[in-house]
Amino acid sequence: MKAGGNSQFQTVGLIGRQASGGVVDSLTAVLDCLQRHGVSGLVEDRTAQLGPFQKGTPAGGLATAPRAALGERCDLIVVVGGDGSLLGVARDLAHTRTPVLGINRGGLGFLADIAPKRIPEQLGAVLAGEYRVEDHFLLAASVRREGRELMRSPALNDVVVHPGGMARMMEFSLAVNGDFVYDQRSDGLIVASPTGSTAYALSAGGPIMHPALDAIVIVPMYPHTLTSRPLVVRGDSSIDVTLGLVDHAQVSCDSQVNFELQSGDQIRIEKYAAPLRLVYTYGRSFYESCRRKLDWATRLGGWK
């Protein structure tokens, strides 16, 4: 595929979710759309193992590259999968600031918003320049033990401190910008970005936050008190969680990156240096997504 059309995107990177039904069909539809618009494709090396890119197929000669290189070499990255796939791409590539477009082959699809059947229409509109970009900031989590940093990872949705697979309470203290907030006994703590407010934090009783907000929500998980409630703080806040005596604990970033904790460990959560730049077609509305994904107002007969 050689560039030669009118698209402002000269090279588009392709990432597909592994072992997921329908992904191959959607990747084929994406390739057809790129071909019609004269846009070059660069395929993630793992994605290149999927059907459309095997030797002997029309797309078998496409160039491939490791995921880390796509952000540097592409003008746009198309991810075919669910929101989980986009979480991984965000952690890996947000620092490059390359725009990312999601094709939803997962469940709810708050982030990967394009339906497979609308790929020709909506991806075509994006390639023709009819799109907008939303910046979604990430969190950065780090773990310090006896003065040494042992772990650091970004997270698009949330950072969760929890007892791992054990159903038991844990003790920790919370501080924001060095200001002590409380000591708590609970099943853990969720620290979520606005993007993550519609994920795990929502299930734990946290508020829905518009993704454009510059704020972070702190949601306790089943606290051993009736007065502990979700707390919303400024987006530039530095949040410290210090563990008390624990038998077993973990910190998880987007439920995909996990690190084992010990008593006395300090977990710091703050804003990551670069946002994920998500591409949407015109007309996409966060509130419409909430109505559709969260089943709002169905008792009113599908209020519109």
Q: Which residues belong to the active site?
A: 83
The CA distances from residue 66 to 72, 189, 303, in Å, are: 11, 35, 46
Residue 152 amino acid letter: R
Burial of 275 (0-12, 13-18, 19+ CB in 10 A): buried
Q: Is 88 helix (H, G, I), strand (E, B) or coil?
A: helix
Residue with tokens 């197929």: 57
167 C-beta neighbours (distance < 10 Å), count: 7
Rounded Cα–Cα distance for residues 62 and 57 (Å): 10
Burial of 276 (0-12, 13-18, 19+ CB in 10 A): buried
Both tokens of 58, joined, read 């029309």
Burial of 203 (0-12, 13-18, 19+ CB in 10 A): exposed
Residue with tokens 């790929």: 119
